[in-house]
Amino acid sequence: MPRKFEYTTLAHRYTARFPLITYVGTQVNFWILANILLVVIVHLYGRIISEMHAIPMDGELGTFVLVASIMGLVYGLGLGLTTYYLEQKVFRKLSSGKVLLYKTLISLGLLLLVLTFLRLVLFDVFISPMFNMAGVSFSDRSWDHLFQLFLIYYFFMTLVISFINQVNKKYGPGVLVPLLLGRYRTPQEEERIFMFMDLKSSTLTAERLGHLKYSAFIRDCFADINEVLYPFCAQVYQYVGDEIVITWPETEGLRNSFCIRFYFAVKAKFDERASYYQSNYGLLPMFKAGLHMGKVTAVEIGEVKKDIAYHGDTLNTAARIQSVCNQFQKDFLASEHLINKVAAQSSLKTEHLGSVLLRGKAERVGIVSVLEVY
């Protein structure tokens, strides 16, 4: 893989392997930096007041930074662990308003805990000795003002950090930094694998369930597919109606045959949740898929709504391969070009369907039905 894509690839691998550590570690780093920023601002403001009124001011910035780092560690660790497990178990079933309310209450509770820790432990251990004030403590009014300061600051920093988290979640691990550096402002060529997955018999299913229940059905299907993404280093490119487009950098998709195994892992996930789907919808979701690999260009597009778009014949071919699944009465079709690369490292049970002239293409493409992977 070209060197410029190493950061994104490594970030995605690490997130897939250690999702909890990645999530909590990100929150800890954000809050340590946020607290250090606050300490630097307060320290500089104190220096200004000291110079203006000729008031002696002791204390090294490094000690304040240490205190800020400890507070950021405690707050980020508590918030990260709490929200991670709640998002996995509770938040996904609640409305956005309730999620926001619960997160606000959790943040407020943790802030009170951090300030109590600062008042009872850090102040006596670090701050008081630094100013040669052993045995001296702030008044209750001083602590009230400090709490108000933290409350206002943490509120706005929570908005900033939540925004960064949402942007990172939208684009996936390791994409935000290259995006901020402007890597995708001009088209970049990449070698990628694309899988187009479409719900089978979607029209009949929609008529049977009705549009509201059908939307809930699609939502649950995509939620289950999303749970399979990280173990197979897969990324969601787009949701289009009842279709989901999955992508991998070429080396990631071919590694351990992830691009093939992913489809069967999704089927296994649906089988595992069969009782849920049968009791709520009376049917089990089945998706057909088309898979292909090749060169594409990635570029940042849009002004009102920005996104990273992929262009190239690779996407068109993958979509066309998926479109002939019904014609061959198969669930999972892939290009012969891709299968030849995967077969070199995995044992596959396949059926060659010959060269097919896909709609909109001038040349025939070798198509293979993938039945099983070992």
Instruction: Kindly report the number of other CB atoms within 10 A of residue 133's CB atom.
Output: 14
Q: What is the DSSP letter of 152?
A: H
Residue 126, pLDDT score: 59
Residue 156 in tokens: 């706005």
pTM for the structure as a whole: 0.76
Where do the DSSP E strands lie in the chain?
A: 188-199, 235-240, 243-249, 287-301, 307-311, 332-335, 348-356, 365-373
What pLDDT tens digit does each residue of the chain (374 aa) get?
344 446 777 777 777 778 888 889 989 999 999 999 998 888 888 778 777 776 666 556 777 888 889 888 988 898 888 888 887 777 766 666 677 677 778 888 888 887 887 777 766 665 555 554 444 456 778 778 878 888 888 888 888 887 787 777 777 777 777 777 778 888 989 999 999 999 999 999 999 999 899 999 999 999 999 989 988 989 899 999 899 999 999 989 999 999 999 999 999 999 999 999 999 999 999 999 999 999 999 998 887 777 889 999 999 999 999 999 999 999 999 999 999 998 777 788 999 998 888 887 878 899 999 998 87
For residue 32 the two structure tokens come to 């340590």
Tell me how far apart the alpha carbons of residues 246 and 193 are, in angstroms, rounded to a whole number. 8
**Token pair for residue 59?**
């204390």
CB 228 within 8 A of CB 263: no
Instruction: Report the first-to-last Cα separation within the chain, whole angstroms.
Output: 26
Dist. CA 315–CA 247, nearest whole Å: 10
pLDDT at 323: 92
C-alpha span between 147 and 126 (Å, rounded): 19
Q: What is the per-residue pLDDT for 4?
A: 43
Residue 53: how many CA atoms within 13 Å on its side-chain side? 8
Chain length of the chain: 374
* C-alpha to C-alpha distances, 355 to 125, 176, 364, nearest whole angstrom: 75, 40, 5
